[in-house]
Amino acid sequence: MFFTRKKDHKEWLSKFYEYGLIACILFLALWLRKSLLPFISGDMVNFYLPWYNFILSHGGYHAFKFDFAVLNVPYLYLYAIATHFPFSAPTNIKLLSIAFDLVLAGFMYLIVKEKYGRTFVPFVAVCIILFLPSVFINSSLWGESDSSYVALSLGAIYFLVSRRYFWSFVFWGLAISIKFQAIFVFPVLLTVFLSGEVPLLYFLIIPTVYLTALIPAIIEGRSFIDLLLIYISETNATHCLTLNAPNMYQWFGSGCYYNEQLKQGGIIFTLALILIVSLIVLRSRQKLTPVRIIRLSLLFSLLLPFFLPMMHERYFYLADVLSVVYAFYVPKRFYVAIIVQLTSFLSYMPFLFGGPNHFQAPSIVLSYVAFAPLLAMIVVARDLIVDLYLSEPQITDQQGLFTGQSELSATGDEEFVDKASSLVKRES
């Protein structure tokens, strides 16, 4: 009895230390963000502060009857709320992004927990995502809003993985109502639908959520047509084929340049690639298991910003996050996350620290950096094809139910990880 109590006390103390360390790591994540708050970027001066001040000077929500920002109105609602925070305007704006960092961390925990259960691994994933350079730089240094749509998009993917399709479409509807870049997830939803997993009626959820988010601005007097066309006007306002994005357009010219034929050709080529990938998945007749959904999501989040024109460097943000998820689902491919994250970090630098002419920063040659996401894309595409067509036949679980997972995984170590995580679950 004495030795049993001593052992239980030791285990309790060990868990106390573990969770204490997690609490310290989370505190450091917040402290890191606080230390970066004083930095003021060009976007903050030229866009976010004028929008914030316009809302402040026009009575909060009454400002939404005017067309004063290139952001869609749902995120501007949060700006109106932020005007009541007791801090400086830049800090109030950045706090919104930091709040979505925490939402992002929450969905990271949940999606990794789907594979590893109530083990220590999801906490590790949370710590990694909070200290991912492109995450904390984007929110607390730059003050961008990308963490919002990416957090909601990750929520949509999590609900796909957990087979709660209704909520997946709800969260994607919220994501696309905030930023158009959430479109990078739509091919995944389309493929899931074409595979017969969800009914067509679920797509009605998206416009329902989107239109509901516009109601406050409409009540204030904003034109309904203007709100529907806001993403089109935002796209037409861009006259550069690439805005520091490490994609294929870095190979056609340097700096900010424009070519209508390249723009149209790039869009058509990207649409064709989306359909080809979807056809490859459907032709395999394989069930869309969680790891396949993650793999497909990462592939599309790399493919679209790489081949589409008029992309900013920040548009690989979703790929940054999903590459970390992929590293937990397919540990053998951990280096994909390193490649993708390094790519984003290098592409951020010219704009943030490149001097007054951000597109001519001499220290980083983005035409070379663009080969990195291409390499990551090839690796993930190869994994997808091998998993769908060259893996062992699918098996059943102990109850004789179809599991949809191959006996031997495409990367060779997924089965081992599944067994190890199951063992950890039983022991905990």
pLDDT 10s digits, 272-331: 999 999 999 999 989 999 999 999 999 999 999 999 999 989 999 999 999 999 999 999
| pLDDT of 141 higher than 50 | yes
Q: What six digits make up the tokens of 382?
A: 């190869």
SS3 category, 396: strand
Which residues does residue 402 pair with via DSSP β-bridges, in sequence order?
Answer: 396
Q: Give exposure, 19-40, as e/b (b: 16+ Cβ within 10 Å).
A: eeeeeebbeebeeebeebbeee
| pLDDT of 403 higher than 90 | no
Task: Output the pLDDT for position 42.
Answer: 86
Q: What six digits make up the tokens of 27?
A: 């505190």
Same domain? For 248 and 365 the reply is yes
Same domain? For 220 and 253 the reply is no
At residue 37 the predicted structure's pLDDT band, cuts being 50, 70 and 90, is: very high
Task: Output the pLDDT for position 15.
Answer: 78
Cβ of 7: how many Cβ atoms within 10 Å? Answer: 10
Task: Output the pLDDT for position 400.
Answer: 33
Same domain? For 39 and 173 the reply is yes
Write down the mean pLDDT value for the chain.
86
Last residue within a domain, chosen from 237, 261, 278: 237
Please classify residue 402 by burial: count the beta carbons closer than 10 Å to its beta carbon, then call 0-12 exposed, 13-18 middle and 19+ buried. Answer: exposed
Task: Output the pLDDT for position 226.
Answer: 87
Is there a contact between 344 and 320 (Cβ–Cβ < 8 Å)?
Answer: yes
What is d(CA 287, CA 192) in angstroms, rounded to the nearest whole number? 10
Same domain? For 116 and 56 the reply is yes
Same domain? For 57 and 153 the reply is yes
**Which residues, 6+ apart, have CB-to-CB distance to 330 below 8 Å?**
291, 295, 383, 409, 411, 413, 414
Same domain? For 153 and 217 the reply is yes
| pLDDT of 418 higher than 80 | no
Same domain? For 90 and 142 the reply is yes
Between 75 and 349, residue with greater pLDDT: 75
Helix (H) or strand (E) holding 330: none
Last residue within a domain, chosen from 237, 261, 280: 237
Same domain? For 100 and 195 the reply is yes
| pLDDT of 366 higher than 70 | yes
Task: Output the pLDDT for position 4.
Answer: 58
Please classify residue 177 by burial: count the beta carbons closer than 10 Å to its beta carbon, then call 0-12 exposed, 13-18 middle and 19+ buried. Answer: buried
Same domain? For 169 and 245 the reply is no
* Closest by Cα among 325, 420, 421 to 380: 325
Region 192-203: mean pLDDT is 92
What is d(CA 92, CA 97) in angstroms, rounded to the nearest whole number? 9
Query: What total of structural domains would you count in the chain?
Result: 2
Task: Output the pLDDT for position 59.
Answer: 87
* Closest by Cα among 55, 47, 81, 48 to 220: 55
Which residues does residue 406 pair with via DSSP β-bridges, in sequence order?
Answer: 394
pTM above 0.85, yes or no: yes
Same domain? For 211 and 261 the reply is no
Last residue within a domain, chosen from 178, 213, 237: 237
Cβ of 44: how many Cβ atoms within 10 Å? Answer: 19
- β-strands 311-312, 242-243: how paired? parallel
Percent of the chain topping pLDDT 90: 66
| pLDDT of 235 higher than 80 | no
Place of tokens 């960092």: 101
Same domain? For 367 and 302 the reply is yes
> What's the chain's Rg over C-alpha atoms?
23
pLDDT 10s digits, 69-107: 888 999 999 999 999 999 999 999 999 999 999 999 999
Q: Give exposure, 351-372, as e/b (b: 16+ Cβ within 10 Å).
A: bbebeeebbebeebebeebbeb
Region 178-195: mean pLDDT is 94
Q: Domain containing 366: what range?
A: 238-428
Same domain? For 302 and 324 the reply is yes
First and final C-alpha spacing in the chain: 21
